[in-house]
Amino acid sequence: MIRMENVVKRYNELIALDHFSFAAKEGEIIGLLGPNGCGKTTAINCMLSLLTFDKGEIEIFGQQVHPNNNAVKSRIGIVPQELAIFDKLNVYENIDFYCGLYVTDRKKRKALVEEAIEFVDLGKYRKFVPKKLSGGLKRRLNIACGIAHKPALLFMDEPTVAVDAQSRNFILEGIRKMKAQGTTIIYTTHYLEEAEQLCDRMVIMDSGRNIASGTVHELQNTISTQERIEVGFITEDQTIEAQLEELPHVVKVTKRNGNYLIHFEKQENNLPDLIKFMESRGMSYTELSSERSTLSDIFLELTGKELRD
Ligand SMILES: Nc1ncnc2c1ncn2[C@@H]1O[C@H](COP(=O)(O)OP(=O)(O)O)[C@@H](O)[C@H]1O
Ligand SMILES: [Mg+2]
């Protein structure tokens, strides 16, 4: 669907995209993930040829995109990061305007606008102008404007920022429905949990570069810590840390809330091995819990930086 190869985009001295490459296949939800300023929006704007770039190649549907290539543009939907809705138009008219850029047949368009209104559940608000809508409802309108013409490829740039929990879940559910209908979706976010739940594959971005990409599982396998087990002991003993480090497959031992956090390099059998080990040494524990490494661990290990929700 998309192929982006070694794209460089500069804003004067600042390199916003630094030999950025990326590909998306039909029907998948791809997450572009990274902190604010890492280049997500710039990457999307280059793909859409809303921005020119200094170097590299971009193809969508196997063609180079030009600003005036309407055949390609009509198959693409955009839900931009900044709301792109008209204050003077009501909900229905806003959606109708965007849909009308691609669908000229009035009867067909009416049906599509109605479907989009239903999709984002704004039926009650169809006559409302944007300033009468809450932040979450405005986001939903922004989405309806991007999807009404039923694009095969949809770009959504941080659609859940500053959205209440209810609208957020609604939006995420809608994205899953669109995927089920066969839409390919490029989704940017700096919320790791959201990406983990939603995306088939992820591209981790930092300073305009593609640091790593793959499924969560593939990304997990690229880092050394696969599982962490937290243990609390009844009595504090100076030798505990050193003893735990003797266990096979331990990467390191750290402290968390007065407990020990044992980082393991593989996932299987760590817990039973640890229990046997502690029993053999007479170490009495009060608490024991295991967790798989998360996207936030992956991000930290790959970039050396924290990326918090
Ligand atoms: N029009 C612009 N002029 C100059 N710098 C820009 C412009 N747009 C974005 N940038 C810079 O480019 C970098 C990438 O920005 P952006 O793509 O918006 O990141 P993200 O969407 O990941 O938050 C940032 O450092 C940002 O400040
Ligand atoms: Mg952005």
18 contacts 34 by C-beta, under 8 angstroms: no
Whose CA is closest to atom 2 on ligand 1?
11
- Determine the Cα–Cα distance for residues 276 and 11; give it in Å rounded to an integer: 58
Domain ranges of the chain: 2-213, 224-292
The model's pLDDT over 255-307, given as tens digits with 9 standing for 90+, comes to: 999 999 999 998 789 999 999 999 999 999 999 999 988 888 888 888 888 77
The predicted model gives 218-245 an average pLDDT of 89
pLDDT cut 70: percent of the chain above it: 99
Please compute, for residue 139, the number of CA atoms within 13 A of its CA located in the half-sphere on the CB side: 22
**Domain 224-292: assigned CATH number:** 3.30.70.100
Ligand 1 neighbour 82 (Cβ under 6 A): no
| Least confident range of 38-42, 172-176, 290-294 | 290-294
Q: Which ligand is nearest to the CA of 206?
A: 1
The phi, psi pair for 139, rounded to 5°, reads: -60, -40
- Tell me, in angstroms, the distance from the centre of ligand 1 to residue 208's CA: 10
Amino acid symbol at 247: L
Verify whether ligand 1 is closer than 6 Å to residue 40 (CB atom): yes
To which CATH superfamily is domain 2-213 assigned? P-loop containing nucleotide triphosphate hydrolases (3.40.50.300)
**What integer pLDDT is reported at residue 1 of this predicted model?**
92
Q: Is the shortest distance between the CB of 42 and ligand 1 below 6 Å?
A: yes
Q: Which ranges constitute the DSSP H helices of 20-134? A: 40-47, 70-73, 91-100, 106-119
Angstrom distance (rounded) from CA 124 to CA 111: 17
Dihedrals φ, ψ of 9, to 5°? -130, 125
Across 203-225, average pLDDT? 91
Where are the extended beta strands (E) located within 44-160? 55-60, 63-64, 76-79, 153-157
Q: Whose CA is nearest to atom 26 of ligand 1?
A: 37
Ligand 1 nearest atom to the CA of residue 35, by list position: 22
